[in-house]
């Protein structure tokens, strides 16, 4: 595997291998250091968790890091993203982590590359595969199997790359996925299985909340109205299964999609997701550049002991 661009392109086995590799990294609390490897983080949209999570993952792997954004790259001079990636490849960069606003452009850009691996860190309203994989890893630590697991994704489905990536992946793993959204924010190309938030809280093992994406559309009505009709309130949380969990890719709009006190409640795994993001992104990088870590790291340990 050279690139990670879409969850829809991964097989069930490949998804499970990413989860196993992340578990190996977390359990062993170490990794096989890479030889000198250059990573370029190209973030043309704002990011806190994804960008810094990748930076920490890359540093833990001993990589040298080049940071590019829309201000200090030649994109501001009219250079295409495809040419930027070809330039980085020519300079000897092995990995590019890319977030940019145009949906689907990375598929075309990847075709002309031979030695540079691309990780999609979010493309417009397209996909966010690394967020999906860290979400899956978080879920896997709570439940023995994805088979028949009830997962509800609630929020701005139409504009959410997280919803799309998770819908693809969860269905491949055998989960039962439902959605909650106001009618204008539904995307029936993903699913037609829309339920109410009250139904979701009663029947779901996992409730995944999404941020309202203010930057992608004009929002009508009051934010408080959204919480009462489509968000997670204290009353709804009390009706959830005892072992159910709450996820959110963040940033969280407290008091909009979730009542503020629930962000840190017993069922919440929101900050666990962030911690798991570093481990999973290390696993993704290792898999793309070196192959499956679980095998390599065991060999490294044996060599060290002997």
Angstrom CA distances, 216 to 8, 121, 124, 130, stand at 23, 18, 9, 21
Same domain, 183 and 82: no
Annotated ligand binding at 131? The verdict is yes
| DSSP three-state, residue 114 | coil
Q: Residues 49-85: pLDDT tens digits?
A: 999 999 999 999 999 999 997 666 666 667 899 999 9
Query: Does residue 54 sit in the same domain as residue 17?
Result: yes
Question: Tokens for 236?
Answer: 């709804």
Q: Supply the DSSP string of 143-208, one letter for each residue.
A: -S--TT-EEEEES-GGG-HHHHHHHHHHHHTT-EEEEE--GGG--TTT-S-B--HHHHHHH-SEEE
- For residue 1, is it within any domain? no
pLDDT at 290: 82
How much is the pTM?
A: 0.90
Residues 156 and 264 in one domain: yes
> Nearest-CA neighbor of 98 among 134, 71, 124, 64?
124
Q: What mean pLDDT do residues 146-159 have?
A: 96
Question: Quick check: is 14 in a domain?
Answer: yes
Tell whether 92 and 27 lie within a shared domain: yes
Per the structure block, which two tokens stand in for 156?
A: 């701005």
* Residue 285 forms part of a structural domain: yes
> Is 23 marked as a binding-site residue?
no
CATH code assigned at 62 = 3.40.50.1370
Is residue 50 domain-resident? yes
Type and span of the H or E element at 228: helix 223-230
Instruction: Tell me how many degrees the CA angle 96-141-243 measures, rounded to the nearest 5.
Output: 135
Residues 153 and 264 in one domain: yes
Domain contains 136:
no
In a domain, 120, yes or no: yes
Residues 82 and 11 in one domain: yes
Tell me the mean pLDDT in the region 34-63.
Answer: 92
pLDDT recorded at residue 294: 41
Q: State the pLDDT at residue 71.
A: 65
* Structural domain boundaries enclosing 57: 7-127+276-305
Is position 50 annotated in a ligand binding site?
A: yes
Determine if residue 128 is labeled as part of a ligand binding site. Answer: yes
pLDDT, position 306: 34
Same domain, yes or no: 198 and 233: yes
Residue 249 among known ligand-binding residues: no
Residues 89 and 187 in one domain: no
How many domains does the chain fold into? Answer: 2
Task: Check whether residue 181 and residue 247 sit in a common domain.
Answer: yes
Residues 89, 192 within the same domain? no
74 HSE (CA, 13 A, CB side) = 10
User: Does 182 carry a binding-site annotation?
Assistant: no
Is 161 labelled as part of a ligand binding site? yes
* 133 located within any domain: no
Q: Please indicate if the annotation marks 211 as binding a ligand.
A: yes
């Amino acid at each position: 595997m050279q690139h990670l661009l879409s969850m829809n392109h991964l097989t069930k086995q490949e998804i499970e291998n990413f989860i196993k590799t992340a578990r190996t990294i977390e359990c062993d609390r170490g990794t096989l250091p890479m030889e000198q490897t250059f990573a370029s983080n190209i973030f043309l949209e704002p990011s806190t968790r994804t960008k810094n999570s990748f930076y920490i993952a890359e540093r833990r792997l001993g990589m040298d890091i080049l940071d590019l954004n829309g201000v200090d790259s030649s994109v501001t001079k009219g250079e295409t993203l495809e040419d930027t990636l070809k330039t980085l490849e020519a300079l000897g960069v092995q990995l590019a982590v890319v977030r940019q606003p145009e949906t689907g452009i990375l598929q075309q850009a990847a075709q002309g590359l031979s030695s540079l691996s691309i990780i999609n860190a979010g493309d417009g309203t397209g996909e966010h595969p690394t967020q999906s994989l860290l979400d899956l890893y978080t879920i896997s630590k709570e439940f023995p199997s994805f088979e028949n697991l009830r997962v509800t994704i609630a929020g701005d489905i139409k504009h959410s790359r997280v919803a799309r990536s998770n819908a693809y992946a969860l269905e491949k793993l055998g989960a039962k996925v439902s959605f909650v959204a106001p009618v204008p924010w539904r995307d029936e190309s993903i699913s037609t299985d829309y339920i109410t938030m009250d139904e979701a809280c009663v029947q779901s093992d996992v409730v995944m909340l999404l941020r309202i994406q203010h930057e992608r559309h004009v929002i009508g009505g009051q934010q408080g109205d959204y919480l009462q009709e489509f968000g997670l309130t204290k009353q709804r949380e009390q009706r959830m299964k005892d072992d159910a969990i709450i996820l959110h890719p963040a940033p969280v709009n407290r008091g909009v999609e979730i009542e503020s006190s629930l962000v840190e409640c017993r069922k919440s795994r929101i900050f666990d997701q962030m911690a798991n993001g570093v481990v999973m992104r290390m696993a993704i990088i290792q898999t793309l550049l070196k192959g499956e870590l679980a095998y390599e790291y065991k060999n490294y340990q044996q060599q060290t002991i002997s």
